[in-house]
Amino acid sequence: MSSSSSLSSFSPLIYGFPFLQLVAIILCFPHLAHSHCKNPPIIFNFGDSNSDTGGLVAGLGFPVKLPNGESVNTSFLSPYLDSLGSTFSNGANFAIAGSATLPKFVPFALNIQVMQFKHFKDRSAELAATGPDRFEDALYMIDIGQNDIADSFAKGLSYVQVVKKIPSILAEIENAVKEIYDQGGRKFWVHNTGPLGCLPQKLALLKNTSDDLDSFGCISSYNAVAKLFNEGLRRKCVGLRSEMKDATIVYVDVYAIKFDLIANSTKYGFSTPLMACCGSGGPPYNYNRRVPCGFPGCQVCDQASKLVNWDGVHYTESANALIASKILSTDYSTPRVTFDFFCQ
């Protein structure tokens, strides 16, 4: 979700994209993750609302109201900012809704999240809560960049201007990997960004889009930038593997998974992939920024399991489950590393 948009449209307990489902599968049901882990990996995650498991709520006290989270029934990776009820024994989540890579040193930019991780690591050593080997064996997940692109378009930048920002965004992700590597991290799991132009929120807010829609109804220019960003991220991962030969850096093509789901929704048992289940305004997008999901006046569809999108930006739990299964298949991973590799 764009950080320039109203915080009222965040849904921290449901978002997940694939990540919440992925963590749930790894930590709670490892056998479903094509893995035989007896001891699932310790995970440290960095990102935005695609992988925030409560950081926005813990950090800012922002209220999250039903129906957000009503169908989610599992344990999530504990938010770093949540001081209550966690020993962080299975890792920590530094992702915060609305986060981007730039500008730096603004809560909660990617470089701030890495700084928080370094502080967490130092304090863990002082308190003898987590030994250094635990950090070296941990899995470091990064899913960020969507807000950098979305915010740029929201501010009125042209396609060409947004494309020119991509190298700076990628440099921040590269720097984050290198900093974590310098802290002993050797196992990385990097998601590219999804088809931004297929989100109901973007479609509803952008006026006069008919000339810029593809055959599936998505905004072509937004998706074109996402694909350019993803290709750049893929190349960065190739370069980092060459530079850090003792590290494993898995690049996951989330874009391909999500676009396939939208383009072939009926094949997977879904309908109206460009309409939000929870929102207001009705078809075609059911999104109104003044009446977001969880606020008075919003409506929730009867069959959330049949819709791809939850609140205009984030996916439904059923869609996330499918996305997670494809991620865990390794068919979209380079290199094709199974989660067994990340077991403790």
What stretches of the chain adopt beta strand conformation (E)? 43-47, 91-93, 139-143, 187-191, 248-252, 271-276, 278-279, 299-300, 307-309, 333-334
Which tokens belong to 296?
A: 């008075």
Number of neighbouring beta carbons within 10 Å of residue 320: 24
Q: Of 70, 78, 74, 106, give the one whose Cα is nearest residue 94.
A: 78
Residue of 33, 29, 32, 79 lying closest to 189 (CA atoms): 33
Reference 16, options 59, 45, 58, 37; nearest CA is 45
Catalytic residue ranges: 49, 311, 314
Q: What is the pLDDT of residue 340?
A: 83
pTM, whole model, 2 decimals?
Answer: 0.89
Identify the DSSP state of 303.
-
What pLDDT sits at residue 268? 97
Tens of pLDDT, residue by residue over 219-269, are: 999 999 999 999 999 999 999 999 999 999 999 999 999 999 999 999 999
Cα→Cα distances 307→15, 218, 281, 292, Å: 14, 16, 16, 17
Q: What is the model's pLDDT at position 35?
A: 59
- Token couple for 157: 């930048």
Overall residue count recorded for the chain in this entry:
344
- 7 half-sphere exposure, CB direction, 13 A CA radius: 12
Cα-to-chain-centroid distance, residue 143: 5
The helix-helix angle for 254-263 and 317-328 (nearest 10°) equals 130
Give the whole-angstrom CA distance, residue 20 versus residue 210: 34
Helix, strand and coil in the chain, % to nearest 5: 45, 10, 45
**Residue 135 to residue 149: CA distance in whole angstroms:** 31
Work out whether strand 91-93 and strand 43-47 pair parallel, antiparallel, or are unpaired.
Answer: parallel
| Confidence at residue 12, expressed as pLDDT on a 0 to 100 scale | 33
- In this prediction, residue 313 carries a pLDDT of 94
Residue 322 CB contacts under 8 Å (≥ 6 apart), including other chains: 261, 268
Give the tokens for residue 37.
């882990």
CB atoms within 10 A of CB 117: 23
Mean pLDDT per 10-residue segment, the chain (344 residues):
37 38 44 62 91 80 67 72 80 93 95 96 72 83 96 96 98 98 97 97 85 95 98 98 98 97 97 96 95 92 87 91 91 93 83
Assigned token pair, 55: 């950081």
Alpha carbon distance 299, 320 (integer Å): 21
